[in-house]
A and B are shown apart, each in its own frame.
Chain A
C-alpha cells in the first residue's frame, strides 16, 4: 500500500477524513511535543499548544497550498502559536510583577512539575531548569538537532532561521547545558 505523504493527508483532512487526521497526529505527535516544549520550556503550556496546533491545522487545512514542505507548514503553525503564547505569558507576568513591584528579570515559571517520570529526576530537573534559562529559539534549534536528529540545514528551514544562526544557537545551548549540568558530568 502506498504511504500517503503529509500534503496528501492535509488535503484529506480538508475534505473531512478523520482517519487522515489520526495518521497525521501519529506522525507528528512526538516532533510537535518536542518543538513546543523546546519553545516554551513549560509542560502545561506545551500540552495546551499541542492541542491548539492540531485544531488550527484542521481549520486551515483547506487553505493549505502544497507548494512548500508540509512539515514546514505544520511546524510554522506550532512555532507561531508558541511564540504568541510566550509573549502573552511574558506580558501577563510583567503586569503581575509590576503590580507586585518586582522585576521581571528575576522571576521565571518553574518548568518542572510533579509528574516528572525520569529515571533520574534530579538530572531531569536540572536539565529542564537549564533549558528554561535559554531563549525559545535557542532551545528549539538545540532540541530539533539533538533530539529529533535533524541536520543544521533542516533546522534552519523549519524555523526559518539563517544556517549560521542555527549553528550559533546550538553551540550556545550545548555550552550552557555543559556548564549547568557539570555536577552530573564530573
Chain B
C-alpha cells in the first residue's frame, strides 16, 4: 500500500512538473509599471498637498468640456507620461491664479481706453 501510494505520488509529481502556472506577460508588467508609477506620483503629490489629474478631471476643474481643454492644451501646464496627458492640480490652480491676474491687468489697461473711446 505504502509503496503503491509512493509510486502514485511520484507520477502525480511528474504530471505536475508539466503544468504551467500563469506568468506575468510583458504587457501586464508594463501596465503594472505604468499604474504603479502613476500611483507613486499621486502619493507624492498628495503628501505635498497636490494631486495628479486626468484631462477629464482637469476639464471639470476648469468647468469646460474635455475637447475644449484638449484644443487648448498648449496653453495649459500639462505633462505627458507614457502617452497619457496629466496635470498637477497645484500647477493648474497656479495657472488659473496667473491667468486671473493677467486678465485683471488686461481689463485695467482696456478700461481707460473704453472710457476715452466712450
Contacts and interface: CB of A to CB of B under 8 A. Distances in A.
Interface of A: 13, 16, 18, 21-22, 25, 29-30, 33-34, 37-38, 43, 46-47, 50-51, 54-55, 57-59, 61-62, 117-120, 123-124, 127, 143, 146-147, 174, 177-178, 181, 184-185
Contacts, number: 89
B6 to A, nearest CB: 12
Interface of B: 8-9, 11-12, 15-16, 18-24, 28-29, 31-33, 35-37, 39-41, 43-44, 47
A16 B15 contact: no
A37 B18 CA distance: 17
Given A51-B28, A55-B39, A177-B12, A25 B33 contact: yes
The secondary-structure label for the interface of chain A is helix
Contacts of A51: 28, 31-32, 35
Nearest to B47: A62
Interface SS, B side? helix
Given A34-B21, A55-B39, A178-B8, A25 B28 contact: no
B78 to A, nearest CB: 21
